[in-house]
Structure 1
Amino acid sequence: MSVTVLAQSSSELGGIAGWAVDLMEKLGGLGAGLAIALENLFPPLPSEVILPLAGFTASQGKMSLVGALLWTTAGSVVGAAILYWLGVLLGRDRLRAIVDKMPLVSLADVDKTEAWFDRHGKKAVFFGRMIPIFRSLISIPAGIQKMSFGVFVLLTTAGSAIWNTIFVLAGYFLGSNWDKVEVYAGYFQYVVIAVVAVLLIWWLVRRIQDIRRRRAAGLPDSDDPSDLARAKRHPHA
């Protein structure tokens, strides 16, 4: 069975698998790297599908296994680097200006996040490359905080290499059953989404409760200078 026929027979994967396989059949390892680079920029393109497909394509002799590993890791680094520089262009001042206009979120939250990233940023970038959803997003705060680009590339390469190797090898050794990887990876992604949702709800509840307590006490919504200034201008708001 050819790779193309296999991809077309999977209605669950739809056009993504067909597109990725076509790219890899035409460009070989470069196609796999390009697909993963685009996956970093457009998270709806799932690495959990593309990487096992790269491994299966390698098992069919369309490219070497080493080539699949090297090209997909290179693609991950290129995609992450683009997001890093977008974070640099956004910058800390622009981010704070945006947050200052957002409801419920305060600049104090930004300060806490920045302090946390200063302490744990390296671990966040490394392990973030192995967590769905955060795989792409972690590059942006690294750019905003202007983490050393060399350090960022090193950590991104290491984390991506681990993640990519697991999925590429799974696709390589599972052969025509490569699509089972996506099923189990999907469960992991659901767990991550559920945890994020619970944490977000917990944060919202705590934030709303804090605002209500402060307003009941006649205090501004937070200790941010902007909130203090608004409270002075509108003391009875």
Structure 2
Amino acid sequence: MFDWISGFIDAVGLAGIALLMFIENVFPPIPSELIMPLAGFNAASGEHNLFAVITAGSAGSLAGAVLWYWVGMRIGTDRLKRLARRHGRWLTISPDEIDQSNAWFKRHGGMAVMVGRLIPTVRTFISVPAGVSEMSFLKFLTYSTVGTVAWTSFLTLAGYWLQSQYEKVSAWMNPVSTSVVILILAWYLWRVATYRRRVPKEGSTQ
């Protein structure tokens, strides 16, 4: 994948970096842990301006976050609660838990969005509950920008400073990303298995 990403960035330039980061936020299998260190390496070799690379990567990533935020807004609380009544076990959440989640998100959502943008896999989907809970777009965009720029800058600067050794960033980050995915999958399976115990009334209708 390194060669493909490198060739794409060489061919399309900064717009290619933005597009790849947008796709990474919509379709996670193309990881930012590969895209941005490689873009940073290209900046170190003089092909692109470092600030422009960070800006392009952050802009593409934010565009993906806004798309998921819009999806959450379109789904809305009422529709999500109807889905929870019908398919609560597989969604791992009940209508009451949705209300509790919205209340929590309205109190702490800004920090959750900012930190979530720093966590592999989580950063892709943290925008959905922000939209569902109707967090103001300005607040969402502000916290998302802080988290996104921090993450994008870290990866880009790692590739910039390591230069030809930028593959080490991927070698270190890939196991971290894999571990996060495994933990999320394990958490989901646990939520499915314990659904009746947590919400017996809804679970009895599944």
TM-score by length of 2: 0.88
Larger deviation, residues 89-98 vs 123-132? 89-98
Find out whether 1:180 has 2:180 as its counterpart.
Answer: no
Structure with greater Cα Rg:
1
Structure with higher helix content? 2
Q: Does 1:96 align with 2:81?
A: yes
Query: Among the aligned pairs, what percent are the same residue?
Result: 35
| Partner in structure 1 of residue 36 of structure 2 | 51
Structure 1, residues 124-174: CA drift from partner, whole Å, max 9, x if none?
100000001111101111111121111111111110111111110111111
In 1, Cα distance between equivalents of 2:182 and 2:154: 23
Q: Gapped runs of 5+ residues in structure 2?
A: none
Consecutive unaligned residues in structure 1, runs of 5 or more: 1-13, 215-219, 231-237
After superposition, the C-alpha distances for 1:10-55 in whole angstroms (9 at most, x for unaligned) are: xxxx3xx333222321232222111101111111110111111111
In the alignment, is the contact (CA less than 8 A) between 2:28 and 2:124 conserved in 1?
Answer: yes
Structure 1 residue 198: deviation in Å? 4.2
Instruction: Give the superposed CA RMSD.
Output: 2.2
**Local SS of the residue matching 2:48:** coil
User: Partner of 1:11 in structure 2?
Assistant: none
In 1, the alpha carbon distance for the partners of 2:88 and 2:70 equals: 27
Preserved CA contact (<8 Å) 1:20 1:32: no
Q: Which residue of 1 aligns with 2:129?
A: 141
Match of 1:158 among 146, 149, 166: 146
Report runs of 4+ in structure 1 exceeding 3 Å deviation.
197-206, 208-211
**Which residue of 2 is the match for residue 9 of structure 1?**
none
In structure 2, the partner of 1:74 is: 59
1:83, distance to aligned residue in structure 2 (A)? 1.3
- Looking at both structures, which has the greater relative contact order when contacts are Cα pairs under 8 Å and sequence separation is at least 6? 2
Which aligned pairs between 1:1-237 and structure 2 lie closer than 5 A? 14=1, 17-104=2-89, 105-210=93-198, 220-221=201-202
User: Is contact 2:81-2:94 (8 Å) kept?
Assistant: no
